[in-house]
Amino acid sequence: MSAAPHPRSNPWAAPSPTDPPDDYPVGIGVLTKGKPTLSMVLVSLLMQEGCRLRVHIVDTATSPVVRRDDVVFALRLAFDRQIVCEYEYSREKDRAFSAGRQRLVEALPGPYLVFMDDDVVLPANALARLRQRAAALQRWGYVTPLCKNYGVASLPPSEQPHYTPGGLIYQDDTVRRLLLEYYSSTVDVLDLRRARDKVWESVFLSELFPALGRPCETVADCVTYHLDYHQRAEWHPNEAALIAHTRERLRDLLARHGLG
């Protein structure tokens, strides 16, 4: 499904100082394993106001979600609203999460990147407000909403905000290279594959941008909602080990790229 033609010859080109901020679409990557809340998430995204969007869905469910009526109707809504909404089905099982995230980064090379879970919904002005706040910052890393009922890693107290689904990432060439290598070479705690050095994406994203010297913010009055009310805030017995492995991987990655 494609949006109406845009006068920009390459809408994913890197921004220049003379281009207006609203000239670039927000690339939204949705990774789903088929939760029943997926269509609610898609509708909340497709009803965003105030900024152009491009949505890419990677489906890792046992059965393709496009066989469900609610998802088909959401995709039809994208067509009616002239929003590019692309879909692909992944047969990767051992590293479904990491490989899925990698595909989203590959498919969305633009400067504005958002990772969305299939159980987080946001108000209609959320992305426009995040874009507006980001425009006031210089060389920023990400601007994230306040996500209700979302468990994050037990990091030590810090003024640094955690990245949460729906957060707006500034993806330049450096960030893009780092994300692609990270997702292609790690095993996340959400992957089925067994590994002694599993990592935790929320820790990686939350600490990557401060390590690059790029400020990050949480817009506290921009509230999103995590719909999995069964999930505890601290849900993994080896949180300390996951955090340590993730930080070690981040240090190695920065050093490999001459950024450490």
Look up residue 41 and give its amino acid. Answer: V
Q: Reading across the β-sheet that carries 112-116, which strands appear in turn?
A: 84-89, 53-59, 26-32, 112-116, 168-170, 142-148, 216-226, 120-121
Over pLDDT 70: what percentage of the chain? Answer: 85
- Band of residue 147 on the pLDDT scale cut at 50, 70, 90: very high
Instruction: Please tell me which residue, 97 or 138, carries the higher pLDDT value.
Output: 97
The 3 state secondary structure assigned to 117-147 is CCCEECCCCHHHHHHHHHHCCCCCCEEEEEE
Over pLDDT 90: what percentage of the chain? Answer: 79
Q: Which residues lie below 8 Å from residue 176, measured CB to CB, with a gap of 6+?
A: 105, 109
Q: Is the pTM of this model over 0.95?
A: no
Mean pLDDT of the chain: 88
Residues 162, 168, 170, 176, CA torsion sign: positive
Q: How far apart are CA 193 and CA 94, in angstroms?
A: 5
Of 155, 129, 142, 160, which is closest to residue 223 (Cα–Cα)?
129
- Band of residue 240 on the pLDDT scale cut at 50, 70, 90: confident
- Band of residue 160 on the pLDDT scale cut at 50, 70, 90: confident
Domains of the chain by residue range: 25-256
CATH T-level topology, domain 25-256: Spore Coat Polysaccharide Biosynthesis Protein SpsA; Chain A (3.90.550)
Instruction: Please tell me which residue, 233 or 163, carries the higher pLDDT value.
Output: 163
Given a cut of 90, whether residue 258 has pLDDT beyond it is yes
Of 178, 17, 210, 191, which is closest to residue 105 (Cα–Cα)?
178
Q: What is the pLDDT of residues 37-70, one digit of tens each?
A: 999 999 999 999 999 999 999 999 999 999 999 9
Q: What is the pLDDT of residues 18-27, one digit of tens each?
A: 444 557 899 9
Spatial contact of 257 and 173, defined as CB atoms under 8 Å apart:
no
